[in-house]
Amino acid sequence: APSIRLSPAARSLFDEPLAIAVQGLGPRQQVTLRTSLRDETGELFQASARYQAGDDGELDLARCPALPGGSFSGLEPMGLLWALQPQKPFWRLVKRDVQSPFLLQLEVFEGHGERPGQLLAQAQHERAFLRDGVRRVPVREGRIRATLFLPP
């Protein structure tokens, strides 16, 4: 059965690269990958891309270019993250609480149709804003308003 392989596996910092691969596909199988996340206000952001697996049934986004027809095309290993678009026009991704991560959903669908085909695999990944152990200290001194981030 197809599966999604992520590196780092379960959690990464928001500005760190995320390696995405799908294994267990058929040789040269056509699939659509979709990412989605909800911001703090509950608004949905999504991106999708069309791919074709290699002769060995592997799909590594660092080596396989996205085919035309999705949110982007070409060799874009992080395209499924930077191409996230809101369902509401002109909406911006809102993040006020940096202590909680975004939960990214990844899905692999069969084929390249306008409507998603059969769901083949799915995974979740946390995109965090603070490394483990970092302390967030609010600073209020006179007219100064700031936040101090202290490493472990």
DSSP sequence for 66-85? BBTTSS--BS-TTHHHHT-E
Domains and CATH numbers, the chain: 3-150 (2.60.40.2240)
- DSSP H/E element including 135: strand 135-141
Distant-in-sequence, close-in-space partners of 144: CB < 8 Å, separation ≥ 6: none
* Nearest residue to 124 via CA among 25, 42, 15, 20: 20
Tokens at 45, concatenated = 């952001």
Contact present, 139 and 146 (Cβ < 8 Å):
yes
Residue percentage of the chain with pLDDT more than 90 = 88
CA distances from 129 to 12, 95, 99, 124, 133 (A): 9, 10, 7, 17, 12
Specify the pLDDT at position 81.
96
4-52 confidence digits (pLDDT tens): 999 999 999 999 999 999 999 999 999 999 999 999 999 999 999 999 9
pTM beyond cutoff 0.75:
yes
